[in-house]
Amino acid sequence: MSEASTSSAIRYGTTKPPLWRNAAVLKWFAQLAVLIGVLAVFWFLIAEARTNLAAKSIPVGYDWLDNPANFQLGEGIQTVDTPERALTMSRALWVGMVNTLRIAALGIIFSTILGVLVGISRLSKNFVAQRFSSAYVEGLRNIPVLVQIILWLAILGSLGKLTPETGPIPGWVIVSQKGISLPRVFLADGFYQFAALMLVFMGGIVVMRRQLKKRQDRDGGDQRIGLWTFVTFVISAVVAWVINPVMAFLGPVFGAVEDAWGAVPQAAMQILLSVAAVVAVVAWIRKFLDSKRSPAGLAKLTDDDWFRMIFSGFIGLVAVFVVVKGWPGLSSWIINSGSDFWGVLSDKYGDGRGAKPFDAMRPTLTEGRFVNFGDTGLTLTVFYASIFLGLVFYTSAFIAEVVRGGILAVPSGQSEAAAALGLSRAQALRKVVLPQAFRVIMPPLGNQYLNITKNTSLGIAVGFSEIVQVGQTVYNKNSQTLAVFSIYMIFYLSCSLSISAVVNTINRRLAIVER
C-alpha cells in the first residue's frame, strides 16, 4: 500500500495533472501542432510558387478567363471564334467540360447495359455463354484502359477514307477513318419551353398516380396505374409539343432575377456570407450542447468538449476573416456567376425560341469533312469514338463483376423461400432477388461511374478536347497552371460529389431498416 492513500493529504477530485502530462491537452496540442505544420508547409509552398511566378512575371489570378482563346478546339459545342460568340478562355474550358460530360454520360449508360448483360450471362448455366463472358471480363479488365483507348484509335485509324458512301449503309451510317456518323435526334430551340411545360404536367401526373394508388388500396382490384400514367404522359407530351411557346414568359422572369442578382452590392454579400458562417458555427455549438443535454440538465463538459467548441468558433472567425479581408473578390465572384447563371437561363427562354423541341438529321459532309457541330448527324470523331469504346468496354468488364457479385450475394435461402411461397421464378427474381442484389450492387456501381468520369481525362492521350486537354492548351498558352489546376479540381470534385450524392440517395432509399 502506498503511503499516499493512508495520509490524509490526498483530497479526492482535486488533483490536476501538469499540462505536459494532461491527456486532453496533449491530444489537442498534437493535433493543432500538426495542423499548423501542414498549413505552414502549404504557405511556404505557395509563397515559393508566387515568388517563382513573379520572377517569370506571370500574374496570379483568374483575370485571363475573359481573354480570347487564340486557339481552335478539336470538337465540341463551339470550336472557333465566331462573330456571334467569342471563344474566350473560359468558353473554351466550358466546351471542354461539356465534352467530358458528354463522354461520361454516354459511357455510363452504355457500359451499364453491356456490363449487366455480361454479368448475367456469366451466371448462365450455358457453357459457351459462361466461358465467353469470363474471357470478356478477364481480358478487358486486365489490359490498361489507356492502352485499349489507343488501340481503338489505331484500329479506327486504319478504316477507309471518309466519303458520304463509306460505311455499311451509305448516306445513313458512315464508318471511316475520320469517325463514325449516324442519324440523330437533337434538342431544338423549343426544348427548354417544352421541358418546363412537361415539368408542370409531370406534377399533375404524380398527383393522379397518388389518387389512383389510394383508390386501389381502398377498393382493391387493378386500377391500371401504369396504363393511365403512360396515356396521360403521351397526351401531355403531345400537348406540350404544340403549345410549348407559352412558356416563353419565363425568359423575362429569369432576366429579372439576373438583374436582381447583379444588383446585390458586394458589401451585402460579404455581410451575408459572414453571417452565414457565424450562424453555422453557432448552430453547430448549439447542436453539440443539445447532444449533451438530458432531462436532468447539462452533462458535465470535458476538456475535450471545450476544445472542440473553441476550435469551431476559431474556424468561424477564420471564415469571416477570409470573406471580409482575405479574399474580397469571393463575394463579387459569387454575385457575378450567380447572375451569369440566370442570364444563361433567360437566354434559353429568350426571343426566337419555341416551337419544335426535338429535330432529327442525317449525316452530312461539307467539303468532304464532318460538320463540326449542329445540323448534322450524330458524329463520333475517331478521337471521341476511341475513348468512348475504350471506356465502355473496360468499365463494362468491371460492372459485369459488380453485377455478378451482387446477384451471388443474395443468399440462396431467399429464392428458396420465394419458391416455397409459390412465387414463380420470374416473380421471385423481380420481387425478391433483384431488389436485394441491387442494394449490394449500387455502391460499387457508383464507384465505377466515378471511374468513368475520371477516366475521360485520358482523352488527352488521343487529342480529344475534354477539360484536361483544353486546360493544358490554355496553360501552355498563358502559363496559368495554378489557376487551371484549381479549375480541374473544382470540376472533377463537383462531378464526384454529384455522382456520389445520387448514389447515396438511392442507397438510402434502398436500405433495409435494421433494428
Q: Is 489 in the site for other proteins (CB under 8 A)?
A: yes
Secondary structure class of 174 (helix, strand, coil): strand
Tell me the C-alpha distance between 250 and 349, whole Å: 6
Tell me the C-alpha distance between 113 and 376, whole Å: 27
Interface region with other proteins, contact rule CB under 8 A, candidates 37-45, 241-249, 324-332, 353-361: 37-45
Q: Which of residues 1-20 bind other proteins (CB under 8 A)?
A: 1-6, 10, 12-13, 15-18
Q: Read off the C-alpha cell for 281.
A: 458555427
Interface region with other proteins, contact rule CB under 8 A, candidates 203-211, 276-284, 295-303, 355-363: 295-303
Q: Which of residues 130-189 bind other proteins (CB under 8 A)?
A: 130-132, 138-139, 141-148, 150-151, 154-155, 157-158
Q: Is 497 in the site for other proteins (CB under 8 A)?
A: yes
Q: Which of residues 456-475 bind other proteins (CB under 8 A)?
A: 456-458, 460-461, 468, 472, 475
Measured at the CA of 132, the angle between CA 130 and CA 136, to 5 degrees, comes to 115
Q: How far is the CB of 52 from other proteins (least distance, A)?
A: 5
Helix axes 23-55, 303-321, angle to 10 degrees: 20
Beta carbon nearer to other proteins, 361 or 419: 419
Tell me the C-alpha distance between 76 and 92, whole Å: 9
Among 234, 283, 417, 493, contact with other proteins (rule: CB under 8 A)? 493
Beta carbon nearer to other proteins, 95 or 499: 499
Beta carbon nearer to other proteins, 233 or 311: 311
Among 63, 66, 165, 303, contact with other proteins (rule: CB under 8 A)? 303
Q: How far is the CB of 378 from other proteins (least distance, A)?
A: 24
Q: How far is the CB of 45 from other proteins (least distance, A)?
A: 4
Q: Which of residues 50-79 bind other proteins (CB under 8 A)?
A: 52-53
CB 164 within 8 A of CB 365: yes
Q: How far is the CB of 433 from other proteins (least distance, A)?
A: 6
Among 8, 84, 127, 218, contact with other proteins (rule: CB under 8 A)? 127
Q: Is 284 in the site for other proteins (CB under 8 A)?
A: no
CB 57 within 8 A of CB 430: no
Q: Which of residues 423-452 bind other proteins (CB under 8 A)?
A: 425, 429, 433
Q: How far is the CB of 395 from other proteins (least distance, A)?
A: 13
Q: Give me the residue label for grid cell 479581408.
A: 325
Name the residue type at position 31. Q
CB 409 within 8 A of CB 437: yes
Q: Is 306 in the site for other proteins (CB under 8 A)?
A: no
- Under DSSP, the state recorded for 85 is S
CB 144 within 8 A of CB 458: no
CB 80 within 8 A of CB 373: no
Q: Is 492 in the site for other proteins (CB under 8 A)?
A: yes
**Where are the alpha helices (H) located in 181-302, listed in sequence order?**
191-219, 225-243, 250-263, 266-291
Q: Is 504 in the site for other proteins (CB under 8 A)?
A: no
Among 65, 98, 106, 120, contact with other proteins (rule: CB under 8 A)? 120
Q: How many CB atoms lie within 10 A of CB 63?
A: 10
Handedness of CA 20, 21, 22, 27 (dihedral sign): positive
